[in-house]
A = this chain, B = another copy of it.
Amino acid sequence: MTKQILVTNDDGVLAPGLLALTQEMRKIGNVTILAPDRNWSGGGHVKTLDRALRLREFRLEDGTQAFGSDGAPSDCVALATLGYFKEKFDLVVSGINVGANLGHDVTYSGTVTAAMEAVIAGVPGVAVSLEVPEGHIGQIDFSASAYAASIAVQNVLEHGLPADTLLNVNIPFLKHNEIRGFRITRQGLRVYHSRLDERVDPRGRPYYWIGGEAPTGVVETGTDVGALSEGYISVTPLQLDLTAYRAISDINTWNWQEQTPL
């Protein structure tokens, strides 16, 4: 039975990373594309309930039919899995994102939250992101990322994923033949270098950018950040249960009765 694969992303339906992913996925199954009609990076896990969504048809550079919506990546997955298409999907793959999604990035990331939405809808989800050095100019080579996506997706189609679990795949910025292989990792720690950048508009009123250098990470073996720094593709299983189980017994010892203010 031909596998039905939904492709989405957060860089927008016409982004070259989506085209590269589509061409690779077409070797594995039947591909349907529904992605945002604009860039949604850093947009988080959105469920758009306060407005209606529009969809329209696009053509990718190679002529492939695709659909774009004015919703977030997670909205695109919701539209697709709620029945906008007649297909029942076996898997949702999101990417190839320009920029790694490591550590704390995962709850911000449109790429990863699209895969979360798939999992909530009961469909296995895979997010694929390519580390791209800050300030990189020029065309991006997605071939190693397409390869990584292919291996990950074939594995998920063959083995399935545990309930409420998705795969977060990150590829180092290396040529295909320089990559050392795959590492199954845990989520590492991002270090953000955000700064508040106050400016004044032509009418004398202040406005604020969240500025600063690109985030770095704590390089530690066993983590997503560590794998990339050592030249490996990182595959992190992520779960939607965020419970901090180890904190429960301690918090149970706190005073949860009526108190007078401190």
Contacts and interface: CB of A to CB of B under 8 A. Distances in A.
Interface of A: 3, 27-28, 39, 41-50, 52-55, 72, 74-75, 78-79, 82-84, 104, 106-108, 113, 116, 120, 147, 150-151, 154-155, 157-159, 161-162, 165, 167, 181-182, 184, 186-187, 192, 194-196, 199, 205-210, 235-248, 250-252, 254-259, 261-262
A116 B106 CA distance: 12
Contact of A251 (B48, B199, B237, B258): B237
Nearest to A107: B45
A74 B262 contact: no
- Counting every copy of the chain, the complex holds 2
Contacts of A116: 107
B242 A208 contact: no
27 contacts: A3-B262, A28-B261, A28-B262, A43-B46, A44-B44, A44-B107, A45-B107, A46-B108, A48-B210, A52-B199, A53-B207, A53-B208, A54-B205, A55-B206, A78-B210, A82-B195, A83-B196, A107-B107, A107-B240, A150-B259, A159-B250, A162-B246, A186-B241, A238-B244, A239-B242, A239-B247, A242-B242
